[in-house]
Amino acid sequence: MTKGNGIAMEDVKEHTGATSVEELLKMPTPLSSTVVEYIWIDGTMENCRSKARVVTKRVTSVDQLSKWNFDGSSTGQAGGEDSEVILVPKAIYRDPFRGGQHLLCMCECEDPFGNALKTNSRRAAAKIFEDPKVKGEEPWYGIEQEYALLDAKTNWPLGWPEQGFPGPQGPYYCAVGANKISGREICDAHFKACLYAGLNISGTNGEVMPSQWEYQIGPCTGIESGDQMWISRYLLERICEMAGVVVSLDPKPIPGDWNGSGAHTNYSTKSMRADGGMAHIKKAIGKLEEKHMEHIKAYGEGNERRLTGAHETASIDAFSWGVANRGASVRVGRDTERDGKGYMEDRRPASNMDPYVVTSLIAKTTILS
């Protein structure tokens, strides 16, 4: 398709020219087109990949986007001879990097016959969330994503003495001050990017290990939780890339007397949120206890290095729960106990867990089994 000889000057906002890369990046783009960044989970199942596509229309709903494809042999997702992987658009958000009408799109990966790839955990999760019993319970999730920031050259936590250690944990959690905090601008830039994108980010805080941070995404209903979590991780990677800092989602980035990183998953169903919900919460906790090992297997690689029973964790081998107990597998908050309804917190998932897997397994265990 050619546009002929004409050029529609009115299709871009006024532009007075650019003399640097930074200024070029801020130039207006044609109003009639949308740049969509297609995002997917790669063969590691922990990292995202993405590529951009121009769509010559305005996009307001994900159904307006067509499928696309990529070379799966370069992402650990296909062999060399038959390498085409299909991207299926599933959820769109505003793009804080390009701004304007431009979008980020979370995608599923399938083969040319429409079968989900092995790395596509979203397909199975969506199926669970489409079950009428699960749908009827409107499961809500609030996920607390903890992460550590590392210096890109040394792979050592940001702001730590070179080849050495800061003073012991205690002064750093939710702290202020240059002797206690590093990377706040990254945490805050990410907070804003999530808000702009349209994610249900509910807060952020400095964590117990210096240069460790947390943000929470939620409450989100059903599959939306996984979609928003993956987009939030993508945003974090992009922002850290700009800052030349490495994000670590390792469950225990520094061995020894340093807190690991988790992804506490706060969860409720319609029955738990309604009057008398505490009975439903207790029943669900009972089911989680029965399937403890099945859940542990799905809660992230290397979680055994984190769930030691120390550093605000429960032991990986035994299930426990308690009100206001941060050393338990599952915690019920004081508000929930007082009100007799509310939500629970599954403290077992590791920072590198797949939110599609964790959220859908919790729904399956507590609602379908």
Binding site for Mn ion (CB under 5 A): 144, 214, 264
Q: What is the rounded CA–CA span in Å between residue 235 and residue 102?
A: 15
SS (H, E, C) 130-143: HCHHHHHCCCEEEE
**Residue number closest to Mn ion, CB atom:** 264
Instruction: Please give the single-letter amino acid code of residue 181.
Output: I
**Measured from the CB atom, is 264 or 311 closer to Mn ion?**
264
Total residue count of the chain as it appears in this document: 369
Considering the complex, what minimum distance in angstroms separates the CB of residue 216 from ligand ADP?
3
Q: Which of 43, 72, 96, 142 binds ligand ADP (CB under 6 A)?
A: 142
Structure tokens belonging to residue 124:
């199975």
Residues in 194-223 at the binding interface with ligand ADP, rule: CB under 6 A: 202-203, 216, 218-219
Binding partner at 42 among ligand ADP, Mn ion, none, C-beta below 5 to 8 Å by kind: none
Binding partner at 273 among Mn ion, ligand ADP, none, C-beta below 5 to 8 Å by kind: ligand ADP
Q: What is the rounded CA–CA span in Å between residue 90 and residue 224?
A: 10
151 phi/psi in degrees, rounded to 5: -65, 130
**Measured from the CB atom, is 115 or 308 closer to Mn ion?**
308
Q: What is the rounded CA–CA span in Å between residue 223 and residue 142?
A: 12
Counting residues that bind ligand ADP (by CB under 6 A) gives: 17
Considering the complex, what minimum distance in angstroms separates the CB of residue 258 from Mn ion?
14
Residues in 308-347 at the binding interface with ligand ADP, rule: CB under 6 A: 342-343, 345
Considering the complex, what minimum distance in angstroms separates the CB of residue 231 from ligand ADP?
15
Point out which residues pair with 206 in neighbouring strands: 213
266: nearest Cα among 144, 147, 125: 144
**Residue number closest to ligand ADP, CB atom:** 142
Q: What is the rounded CA–CA span in Å between residue 83 and residue 85?
A: 6
29: contact with ligand ADP by CB under 6 A: no
**Measured from the CB atom, is 78 or 363 closer to ligand ADP?**
363
267: contact with ligand ADP by CB under 6 A: yes
The one segment of 1-9, 79-87, 139-147, 153-161 that binds ligand ADP by CB under 6 A: 139-147
CA angle 54, 60, 64 (to 5 degrees): 65
Provide the CB-side half-sphere exposure for 192 (13 A, CA).
9
268: contact with ligand ADP by CB under 6 A: yes
Considering the complex, what minimum distance in angstroms separates the CB of residue 201 from ligand ADP?
8
Q: What is the rounded CA–CA span in Å between residue 34 and residue 84?
A: 25
Judge contact between 123 and 116, C-beta under 8 A: yes
**Measured from the CB atom, is 108 or 346 closer to Mn ion?**
346
The one segment of 62-70, 153-161, 247-255, 266-274 that binds ligand ADP by CB under 6 A: 266-274
**Measured from the CB atom, is 35 or 284 closer to Mn ion?**
284
Distance of CA 265 to the CA centre of its chain: 12
Q: What is the rounded CA–CA span in Å between residue 322 and residue 255?
A: 27
Site residues, ligand ADP (CB under 6 A): 140-142, 144, 202-203, 216, 218-219, 264, 266-268, 273, 342-343, 345
